[in-house]
Amino acid sequence: MDIDAFSAVHGDKWSRLHFLAHKRRLTGAEADELLRLYQTVSGHLSLIRSVAPETGLSASLSAALAQARTRFTGARSNFMEDLARFFVISLPAAFYRIRWLTMWCGLAFVLVAGAYALWIGTSPEALRAVASSDAKVQQYVEEDFIDYYSENPAASFAGLVWTNNAWISAQAVAFGITGFWVPFILFMNAQGLGIAAGLFLATGKMDIFFSYILPHGLMELTAVFIACAAGLKIFWAMVRPGPRTRLQAVADEGRSLITIALGLVLVLLVSGIVEGFVTPSPLPVWAKITIGALVLAGYWAYTLVLGGKAVRAGVTGDMDDNDAGYRSIAA
């Protein structure tokens, strides 16, 4: 086959395909023409490649065909647009949908931790069950608890805290469907914090306890509550699926809450940075607590303002149809 003669005969069709493939808007007739040209030029490319597989002409036609294909199969959105949509719409909507459940998890945590703190802080018998001697209590309150925040370099400590808390949150989301894992995580963490608070209460040094816990703990614990709320949401979808099938309800909520799991990675990164760099810093206590409070206020403003607006617009935080696996196929 003479490539030059073949190009002279069909060059107008190739040019037309290129033009339509790159045109911003197509009329109905032009869309039909583009589809016909795509089928025709695909045949031309096959013939050319059978004679000369690697040529500039075949590469040019391949590019034109690829562009044409995106016009009638649908091109994926720009990465930066997807990123902006995730942070401005999907993530705050997902946070907003579980806001009340997040608060209930937080309330349960505070009640359990407070009960343990009062029990250990006011009962000598309970205190002895936790620490065998007054010396052990003093060592924990005056050395061990405080040294925990400064015994490692700030950057590595922040990374360690981040990965540990991200792992706990991931478990809450992933195993929430079991129904018992979330209460277990909440109880164990509340118990641990309550015991620590009880030791400080027994020695009359609660001010030191709060000065080290509040700067990072306000956001860090809230992140744990969010993860627990997400896990419980999946469990409740299985228990009460509503008009959906049980499998569909779990799948819908699971996809939406994957968004939360991804968002929590960043939330915990921020709280890890505060714990690594702010909590052990020489800043005044009021300044450290203010930083922690501002971080928490920023989260709730983000959730209630952007999330509320997105939910009212019908966003759930779920993936779009293509990513979720639903596709409409034209015959």
User: With b meaning 16 or more CB within 10 Å and e meaning fewer, what string describes 222-252?
Assistant: bbbbbbbbbbbbbbbbbeebeeeeeeebbbb
Top-confidence residue, 281 or 52: 281
Structure tokens at 165: 């808390």
Q: Taking 70 as the threshold, does the pLDDT of residue 331 lie above it? A: no
So what's the pLDDT on residue 53? 61
Q: How confident is the model at residue 326 (pLDDT cuts 50, 70, 90)?
A: very low
What tens digit of pLDDT does each residue of 49-79 get?
Answer: 777 666 777 778 888 888 887 776 655 556 6
Phi, psi of 328 (to 5 degrees): -100, 125
Q: Taking 80 as the threshold, does the pLDDT of residue 128 lie above it? A: yes
Q: How confident is the model at residue 329 (pLDDT cuts 50, 70, 90)?
A: very low
- Letter for the amino acid at 173? V
Structure tokens at 239: 């228990």
Sign of the C-alpha dihedral computed for residues 87, 88, 94 and 100 taken in this order: positive
Within 183-225, strands assigned E span: none
What tens digit of pLDDT does each residue of 74-123 get?
Answer: 555 566 777 788 888 888 998 999 999 999 999 999 999 999 999 999 99
Q: At what angle do helices 246-273 and 206-239 cross, to 10 degrees?
A: 160
So what's the pLDDT on residue 330? 35
Question: Among 98, 232, 214, 258, which residue's Cα sits nearest to residue 177?
Answer: 232
